[in-house]
Chain A
């Protein structure tokens, strides 16, 4: 250990980094203040729908990733500042410490400071969520934390290597960026080529493998998260992928090790000289000559290359290549000497033509047949997750479970193999993909390996497969499961404690239902009931109420977020909900209706009243009337009282104002009311209130018959039509 560690030198380096180490840790910790503040706000109030979402890997990683990049760069620059000035460099090289000891002791000092920053931040961050019992996935966060530690090692390794091979700040920075990002970038470009070259199916090789699975080497692929955002989940960064973490760790350690070798060889007299490393010069020169060539290759692969374009691109690529050498070495002789090495550029560019083809060729020889297939898993549809959408792009609990279910049904496997073969021949014949349904499957093979592929199934194949899947008991059960384990709940209009109480009742009620009902409740999203197209609001049916219980939680490191409908199928829960709402809003709501009725009877002045009433639920509006400012009903005739201007509305309002609060889900009408009188009446309510009223059967049927309802187009669910313009 003494060969690479010197306690005195380590403590000196640790001391030198003390100030910026603490400052950086404080800055990172400061981002916890915003977390704490929004946690407090979220804790205290009932905010929007996504308040219940568990933070995903990307947002968990963001602050730490910025920290790793910046402090990794800055700390290492500060620690190796002395390599860039002759006098400084001589001083350090004269110290009685071996090169290896210097390097690894410095590395340790930097890493420990970064770990302090990351760890302090992470502890506080988790604590905030823990204390307020807010939705959080602790395992995922821990995985992100580990990834960031690995990332720290990688950044420090890359920057150390960069500082060891160069002698000015500018080249230090330039080299750091090249060493950190370029290798991974080249792989990513390769995956683009693979995707371009092969249709969707085999491109999955690219996305699920080293080439462009952005879970590998996360810190070198910051654009992976960006791509994740814009690709809608096609590429996701999985922070909990163990092989990816191991790979990243190995690469990081390699960089550190290479840095050590370079540092050991470094001559003190190279301080202040941009770089003496011939290898680095060659790499940069090649990197400059490469892009235009790659562009040419891309055109070739897409069959859009012309001779003119080809000549043009190659010529300019060569010119840039030579120009760089000339400018950086200021020696025409060296430029001429470098010219033959241009073929390295050409060689690398050609690899981009060759390797994708080889990979695709190799993969298309993989035989997937009944004998070789033990089973398969269905991971995704082309839209995301197998027939299920979570909120905000998350999965549902069921889809997480379904991913893990191995299908061994013979018929299903037969369909799979047939589809696979067809896909392969499509590749080989280079024919069009045609239409159908894409599914991402993981195929377990008898030889112990598994492969992940996107496969196009025909419509009939897809339908057969879906039916077979539904017959699978585990599959079926997963589809109607209520998520177990620690969960977080949200119900629009309720506080968190109320939601939790409701959820307990709901879970029990849900368990007692039959499978068909379970399915209907579970697949409810924001208003759409599976299999039911249109709903009569006055029908005592499932369509009248569409409150949802939002449930979020996690299975291991995967987050889920789904909605369960609260409606007549779950009367106990529904009643509880209605009671809570009425308890909270009842008085004020009824008061508003009274005010409204009074206004209709006595009239208001011009330009100072505002109200709206809707019956039904928030997104399915069945009646809606508003009045802003001038008595819009009467049009020109401003002398009329509102009750005379629009007697039907008045009648309805009267009925509503006379009604009582409901206590029976079977007989409850959801009414949303908002009134605001300015000036004269001097009454103003701050927000709309939802209340549930009990109307008599006659009143209900009377409202139904009212002409006013013709103002609203039933079929256009969710459409608002200004009554005046009708």
Chain B
């Protein structure tokens, strides 16, 4: 389990993480979104022991990560900016990894290299950006780590490769109860892959939830009544948004669907429709409720 307690990290006068708290249980595939500079990469770097916390702590299985090879040996981090030895091939990098990571498996490495169809002897410097990302992923997954951290890794892969990596990740989760932490700019992507999601903004987590919960507990209702009415009509129902055009009201409701359906039906509406929300919409409304403007927080990539 990854535990961050009041985790704080400053760079000169800029506070990247501000007393951040979160718990990532084992076997979880945890997604993080946030604008650039929100602190996602910083958090990952603290979890992988690259940075030392200025305040608070980050622990894995109850032990501090920093300068702790025992823990770090079970952890692997694929950053957004990749590093390879100059003119190195995959095999050469594998030699580096296997010298230092005890669990590195050459068998796995060979499997993955074949699966990704990369030449293990070719100079990685000649690879395209996407292929470099694949190379880094191969090396990371060959380490058989219990904690896998991907910083915007998926964002650089084509859909086919994305699927491949996803399945590999699932495999590790099932096999070893591995924990994965993935950051991305794409909610779409994370929605597919993760089971927990959090939103970072200005160094803190402003939103964290189970994906299943996120999408089932929030829904849109379109309803119409005869005669005049306003939102007061819906007392007792938790509404995040109420918009009325003519006699039709669009309401974003948080709550149990069946209960809410029963309640509204009891009001004898002339129109009643329930629509599921996309994850983006969920975020928009949740954050609206928390007081943030969408454009403030997320810059969405067009897929």
Show the binding face of A for B, using Cβ within 8 Å: 6-9, 11-12, 15-16, 82, 86-88, 90-91, 93-99, 101, 267-269
Q: Which of chain B's residues has its CB closest to A86's CB? A: B81
Show the binding face of B for A, using Cβ within 8 Å: 11, 45, 48-52, 67-73, 75, 77, 79, 81-83, 85, 95-96, 98-102
Q: Is the CB of A93 within 8 A of B69?
A: no
Contacts of A98 in B (CB 8 A): 67-69
Number of interchain pairs (Cβ within 8 Å) = 64
Contacts of A11 in B (CB 8 A): 99
Shortest Cβ gap from A104 to chain B (Å):
14
Q: A96-B69, A98-B67 are in contact. Are A91 and B83 (CB under 8 A)?
A: yes
Q: How far is the CA of A267 from the CA of B49 in the complex (A)?
A: 11
Q: Which of chain B's residues has its CB closest to A9's CB? A: B100
Q: Is the CB of B48 within 8 A of A94?
A: yes
Q: Is the CB of B52 within 8 A of A15?
A: no
Shortest Cβ gap from B164 to chain A (Å):
24
Q: Is the CB of A87 within 8 A of B99?
A: no
Top 8 nearest A-B pairs (CB, nearest first) are A8-B99, A96-B72, A96-B73, A87-B81, A96-B69, A91-B83, A93-B50, A94-B48
Partner of A96, one of B11, B85, B101: B101
Q: How far is the CA of A95 from the CA of B93 in the complex (A)?
A: 13
Q: A9-B99, A90-B79, A96-B101 are in contact. Are A269 and B72 (CB under 8 A)?
A: no
Q: Is the CB of A94 within 8 A of B72?
A: yes
Q: How far is the CA of A430 from the CA of B62 in the complex (A)?
A: 74
Q: Which of chain A's residues has its CB closest to B16's CB? A: A269
Q: Is the CB of B51 within 8 A of A16?
A: no
Q: Is the CB of B50 within 8 A of A90?
A: yes
Shortest Cβ gap from A84 to chain B (Å):
12
Q: A94-B72, A96-B72, A98-B69 are in contact. Are A87 and B82 (CB under 8 A)?
A: yes
Q: Is the CB of B49 within 8 A of A15?
A: no
Q: Which of chain A's residues has its CB closest to B50's CB? A: A93
Q: How far is the CA of A267 from the CA of B51 in the complex (A)?
A: 7
Partner of A268, one of B51, B71, B82, B96: B51
Q: Is the CB of A87 within 8 A of B85?
A: no
Contacts of B73 in A (CB 8 A): 96
Q: How far is the CA of A92 from the CA of B73 in the complex (A)?
A: 13
Q: Is the CB of B50 within 8 A of A12?
A: no
Q: How far is the CA of A7 from the CA of B102 in the complex (A)?
A: 12
Contacts of B100 in A (CB 8 A): 6, 8-9, 12, 95-97
Q: How far is the CA of A91 from the CA of B52 in the complex (A)?
A: 15
Q: Is the CB of B67 within 8 A of A94?
A: no
Q: How far is the CA of A581 from the CA of B70 in the complex (A)?
A: 81
Q: Is the CB of B11 within 8 A of A87?
A: no
Shortest Cβ gap from A540 to chain B (Å):
80
Shortest Cβ gap from A9 to chain B (Å):
6
Q: Is the CB of B67 within 8 A of A91?
A: no
Contacts of A91 in B (CB 8 A): 79, 83
Contacts of A12 in B (CB 8 A): 95-96, 99-100
Q: Which of chain A's residues has its CB closest to B101's CB? A: A96
Shortest Cβ gap from A27 to chain B (Å):
21
Q: Which of chain B's residues has its CB closest to A13's CB? A: B99
Q: Is the CB of A93 within 8 A of B49?
A: yes
Contacts of A7 in B (CB 8 A): 99
A-B contact pairs, 13 of them (CB 8 A): A6-B100, A9-B99, A12-B99, A12-B100, A86-B81, A90-B81, A91-B83, A94-B50, A98-B68, A99-B67, A267-B52, A268-B45, A268-B50
Contacts of A16 in B (CB 8 A): 85
Q: Which of chain A's residues has its CB closest to B76's CB? A: A94
Q: How far is the CA of A12 from the CA of B68 in the complex (A)?
A: 20
Q: Which of A86, A99, A269 has the most CB of B within 10 A?
A: A269
Q: How far is the CA of A8 from the CA of B103 in the complex (A)?
A: 13
**What 17 new A-B contacts, CB under 8 Å, besides A9-B100, A82-B83, A87-B83?**
A6-B69, A7-B99, A87-B82, A90-B79, A90-B83, A91-B83, A93-B50, A94-B45, A94-B72, A95-B100, A96-B69, A96-B70, A96-B72, A96-B75, A98-B69, A268-B51, A269-B51
Contacts of A15 in B (CB 8 A): 95
Q: Is the CB of B99 within 8 A of A94?
A: no
Contacts of B51 in A (CB 8 A): 267-269
Shortest Cβ gap from B86 to chain A (Å):
9
Partner of B83, one of A9, A88, A267: A88
Q: How far is the CA of A6 from the CA of B68 in the complex (A)?
A: 13
Contacts of B75 in A (CB 8 A): 94, 96
Contacts of B68 in A (CB 8 A): 98
Partner of B72, one of A8, A87, A95: A95
Q: Is the CB of A87 within 8 A of B79?
A: yes
Q: Which of chain A's residues has its CB closest to B88's CB? A: A16
Contacts of B85 in A (CB 8 A): 16
Q: How far is the CA of A7 from the CA of B85 in the complex (A)?
A: 19
Q: Is the CB of B45 within 8 A of A90?
A: yes
Shortest Cβ gap from B16 to chain A (Å):
10
Q: Which of chain B's residues has its CB closest to A89's CB? A: B50
Q: Which of chain A's residues has its CB closest to B48's CB? A: A94
Q: How far is the CA of A97 from the CA of B97 in the complex (A)?
A: 12
Contacts of A97 in B (CB 8 A): 69, 100
Contacts of B69 in A (CB 8 A): 6, 96-98, 101
Shortest Cβ gap from A20 to chain B (Å):
12
Contacts of A94 in B (CB 8 A): 45, 48-50, 72, 75, 77
Q: Which of chain A's residues has its CB closest to B47's CB? A: A94
Contacts of B99 in A (CB 8 A): 7-9, 11-12
Contacts of B72 in A (CB 8 A): 94-96
Q: Which of chain B's residues has its CB closest to A10's CB? A: B99
Shortest Cβ gap from A8 to chain B (Å):
3
Contacts of A269 in B (CB 8 A): 11, 51
Shortest Cβ gap from B213 to chain A (Å):
33
Q: How far is the CA of A11 from the CA of B75 in the complex (A)?
A: 21
Shortest Cβ gap from A276 to chain B (Å):
9
Q: How far is the CA of A99 from the CA of B68 in the complex (A)?
A: 9
Q: How far is the CA of A95 from the CA of B75 in the complex (A)?
A: 9
Q: How far is the CA of A719 from the CA of B184 in the complex (A)?
A: 94
Q: How far is the CA of A17 from the CA of B37 in the complex (A)?
A: 37
Q: Which of chain B's residues has its CB closest to A82's CB? A: B83
Shortest Cβ gap from B257 to chain A (Å):
44
Q: Which of chain A's residues has its CB closest to B52's CB? A: A267
Shortest Cβ gap from A687 to chain B (Å):
58
Shortest Cβ gap from B14 to chain A (Å):
11
Q: How far is the CA of A360 from the CA of B72 in the complex (A)?
A: 59
Q: Which of chain A's residues has its CB closest to B100's CB? A: A8
Q: How far is the CA of A12 from the CA of B75 in the complex (A)?
A: 20
Q: Which of chain B's residues has its CB closest to A87's CB? A: B81
Q: How far is the CA of A210 from the CA of B85 in the complex (A)?
A: 44
Contacts of A86 in B (CB 8 A): 81
Q: How far is the CA of A16 from the CA of B101 in the complex (A)?
A: 17
Q: Which of chain A's residues has its CB closest to B81's CB? A: A87
Contacts of B77 in A (CB 8 A): 94
Q: Which of A8, A16, A82, A101 has the most CB of B within 10 A?
A: A8
Q: Which of B49, B77, B99 has the most CB of A within 10 A?
A: B99
Contacts of B96 in A (CB 8 A): 12
Q: Which of chain A's residues has its CB closest to B74's CB? A: A96
Contacts of B48 in A (CB 8 A): 94
Shortest Cβ gap from A130 to chain B (Å):
41
Q: How far is the CA of A90 from the CA of B72 in the complex (A)?
A: 13
Shortest Cβ gap from B206 to chain A (Å):
25
Shortest Cβ gap from A268 to chain B (Å):
5
Q: Which of chain B's residues has its CB closest to A12's CB? A: B99
Shortest Cβ gap from A113 to chain B (Å):
17
Shortest Cβ gap from A90 to chain B (Å):
5
Contacts of A8 in B (CB 8 A): 98-100
Q: How far is the CA of A82 from the CA of B67 in the complex (A)?
A: 18
Q: How far is the CA of A268 from the CA of B51 in the complex (A)?
A: 6
Q: How far is the CA of A162 from the CA of B60 in the complex (A)?
A: 33
Q: Which of chain B's residues has its CB closest to A11's CB? A: B99
Contacts of B67 in A (CB 8 A): 98-99
Q: Which of chain A's residues has its CB closest to B136's CB? A: A91
Q: Which of B48, B77, B96, B98 has the most CB of A within 10 A?
A: B96
Q: Which of A90, A101, A268 has the most CB of B within 10 A?
A: A90
